Chains A and B, each alone.
Chain A
Amino acid sequence: MDKIPVTVLTGYLGAGKTTLLNRILSEPHGRTYAVIVNEFGEIGIDNDLVVAADEEIFEMNNGCVCCTVRGDLIRIIDGLLKRRRRLDAILVETTGLARPAPVAQTFFTDDAVRAKTRLDSIVTIVDAHHLPRGLEHSSEIPEQIAFADVVLLNKSDLVDAAGLGRAEQLVRAINPYARLHRTSHCEVDLAAILDRRAFDLDRILTLEPDFLTAAADPEHEHEHDHGHEHEHEHEHEHEHHHEHGDDGHAHHHEDDAEATPPAAALHTDGILSVALSTDQLVNPDRFVPWVETLLAEQGGDILRSKGILAFTGEDRRFVFQGVHMIIDGNLQRPWADGEPRRSRLVFIGRNLDAARLRREFEACIG
């Protein structure tokens, strides 16, 4: 049986999570979605597939940061799956003050949950109007953005073009890799937020054009949504990345590392992203221990990581993704003929020393 995809919906208080959930529950899409909300009252729909959860964060193994899980989700998912009905997806709404890590980690650490469901993506709703002020007062907002696979820059109708540009810049400063959609009243094609397969190693390349140069991937163009007013904007930015990627220089990563604006100046609570790349082959015997040690030691600060590696003596691509210290990696499809064997790594987190990461990564080359 296919695993049921789970979409995690985060966003600060008032950003628009309830608006989006009400839309998902009331639109005639013919799908069956179970929704786990943090409070009953706000959802105006009486439906036995809406379950209220008390956020219960469990620390396991003496409280190591990657071992916090949402105990209530484990129980609720177990209960939801006692019925035979076909669920097309499960949506989990987090509280506005929630950090996304425990929710995400629940889907990697609990064996029973993992056997039946898969984390599909983390969707973060951002209030475009309040974002600059929100970032000054909240450490949750940058973390929610950092974890996101998809960002809805909502309430875009309440801000002028300059304000919207500024908000987008703030989001990008924290997380340049998430799919960004400008919305008002959370009006977005559900296909843009559901069934993204953002944690699927097989799909990491094709789904995230902002993350990796995917010019060689024939599926790439088909992944774009059609007919949305903001698509043009997105496409544009995307091409910009292409230009960078296509220059094909081994030291391209320096551009990337510097492409993230100084976080302090932008009030991102010290969260930024570091991208590293090389066109030379990477030695797996040095790389794997390095990245494992790095995540073991700094996994508290590294919120998310992803990578695609071209190893020496290996015709297949090694792909990994991580949430804090939990890392999932695998040898994947072979490199295509003519596809440049470029390795790329991305870390999003706090206290990242880009120069040191680059130095250590380069020591894994050859």
Chain B
Amino acid sequence: MSGDIATTLAKRQGWIGTIDAVVVSCVWVGRRLAIADGEGRIGWIDPAAPQVEMQAAHTGAVLCAAADATALITGGDDGQLMRHVGPEASVQMARLPGRWIEHLLLSPPLHLVAAAAGKDLIVFDVRSGESIRQFPHPSSIGGLALDPKGRRIAASYYGGVNLWWLGIDGGNPRCLEWKGSHLATTWSPNGRFVITAMQEHTLHGWRIDDEMHMRMSGYTAKTRAFAWSQKGRWLASAGAPQVVCWPFTGSDGPMGKAPLHRGDHGAVPDTDGTGVLVTQLAFHPREDVLAAGYDDGCVELIHFADGRTLPALAPGDGAVTSMAWSCDGRVLACGSEGGRIAVIPVSPASR
């Protein structure tokens, strides 16, 4: 179970650096870690010899980022969509003057980037930066998710979710309707369910085939992060003192079933009575291990099956804002609101 702070994995075998900015995103680009921050800068970290130097890219804050094996794509409040392949190697793909690019997704099979700016979802060719098509929405887009094949995209807004084919022009989207404001969005790995986080601290889901509705409640705050376990059996969600995990093993999803709760750090309120909340989640790419980040900066590794936890990073430096496992699952990267970056090697033994 959780030990004292001195025994965190980061202290024992990791690297901790700080930048004077909000970490907006930690993303792996092949074997390198890319950091995007609230001052519009990008930094590259080699996990074998970690150090960080942030370099200016956007003129405002970076608001979103996504990557494939070779490049990082970022969107900012300066209206720029930028592509970065390494230090000193940033190019502007597109610019939407006066608009904010708030959400981004990359479809590697189609070589397309989908960027949400207000009510519009704009699809760009990842190599040429050319704007290919545009999908309008009745209100601002609150979140994006790709289907497992990377061909279809779900965009949430006030009133529901639209499903569009990324590679096909125009036409009407498939509309999954539900009254209210839909934000963070995720698509189940089996392709059958779309789930959104709502403004009123609940989740809403649809079984795409027949539009069966699912409602999942019991959150303390808005859910800002989702993670799917191996083979999509469990959906882990943030926004509560513990990770709330919904079973998606049956054809009805989690309906009529109780969620599992995971994580020790938030389970007992602080001495002053205020509890901490889970803000970020990342399932290990191959093993049954979930990384959970909290709003006090703490990160723990959770052995999903039995719930045992291992402290990975001590509290401090504000909420965890981003977490990502390297593709091989050997390194966990974490970034926080207060500018702390942790690069934590995780050997099979420590898991």
Contacts and interface: CB of A to CB of B under 8 A. Distances in A.
Interface of B: 20-22, 24, 38-39, 59-63, 77-78, 98, 100, 102, 118-119, 139-140, 142, 158, 179-181, 199-200, 221-222
Given A54-B118, A60-B181, A71-B181, A84 B200 contact: no
A108 to B, nearest CB: 14
Interface centre among A51, A58, A71, A82 (most CB of B within 10 A): A82
A62 B181 CA distance: 11
A60 B61 CA distance: 29
Interface centre among B78, B100, B199 (most CB of A within 10 A): B199
A48 B39 contact: no
B199 A58 contact: yes
Contacts of B39: 83-84
B199 A60 contact: yes
A71 B61 contact: no
A69 B222 CA distance: 15
Contact of A83 (B61, B98, B100): B61
Contacts of A59: 179-180
24 contacts: A48-B60, A52-B98, A54-B119, A56-B158, A58-B158, A60-B181, A60-B200, A67-B200, A69-B199, A71-B140, A71-B181, A71-B199, A72-B140, A79-B61, A79-B100, A81-B22, A82-B62, A82-B77, A84-B21, A84-B22, A110-B199, A111-B222, A112-B221, A112-B222
A240 interface: no
A71 B100 contact: no
Contacts, number: 66
Nearest to B40: A83
Contacts of B140: 54, 56, 71-72, 75
Interface residues of A, number: 25
Given A71-B181, A72-B140, 14 more contacts: A56-B139, A58-B181, A60-B200, A69-B199, A71-B158, A74-B199, A79-B63, A79-B77, A79-B100, A82-B38, A82-B61, A83-B38, A84-B21, A112-B222
Given A58-B181, A71-B158, A79-B61, A84 B199 contact: no
A82 B63 contact: yes
A26 interface: no
B30 to A, nearest CB: 26
Contacts of A69: 199
A79 B179 CA distance: 25
A82 B337 CA distance: 8
Contacts of A83: 22, 38-39, 60-61
A40 interface: yes
Interface centre among B24, B78, B140, B222 (most CB of A within 10 A): B140
Interface in A42-96: 48, 51-52, 54, 56, 58-62, 67, 69, 71-72, 74-75, 79, 81-84
Contacts of A110: 199
Contacts of A58: 158, 180-181, 199
B199 to A, nearest CB: 6
**Pairs of residues from A and B, 7 with the lowest C-beta to C-beta distance, nearest first:** A82-B38, A82-B61, A58-B181, A60-B200, A83-B61, A83-B38, A111-B221
Contacts of B199: 58, 60, 69, 71, 74, 110
A352 B24 CA distance: 49
A122 B180 CA distance: 27
Nearest to B321: A82
A351 to B, nearest CB: 28
A48 B78 contact: yes
B178 to A, nearest CB: 12
Nearest to A58: B181
Contacts of B61: 79, 82-83
Given A52-B98, A72-B140, A82 B158 contact: no
Nearest to B159: A58
A336 B222 CA distance: 42
A131 B119 CA distance: 36
Contacts of B139: 56, 71
A112 B183 CA distance: 14
A322 to B, nearest CB: 20
B102 A75 contact: yes
Given A60-B199, A82-B22, A40 B179 contact: no
Contacts of A52: 98
B222 A84 contact: no
A265 to B, nearest CB: 41
Nearest to A63: B179
Contacts of A62: 179
Contacts of A51: 100
Interface string A256-297: 000000000000000000000000000000000000000000
A58 to B, nearest CB: 4
Nearest to B181: A58
B119 to A, nearest CB: 8
Interface in A75-134: 75, 79, 81-84, 110-112
A105 to B, nearest CB: 12
A83 B62 CA distance: 9
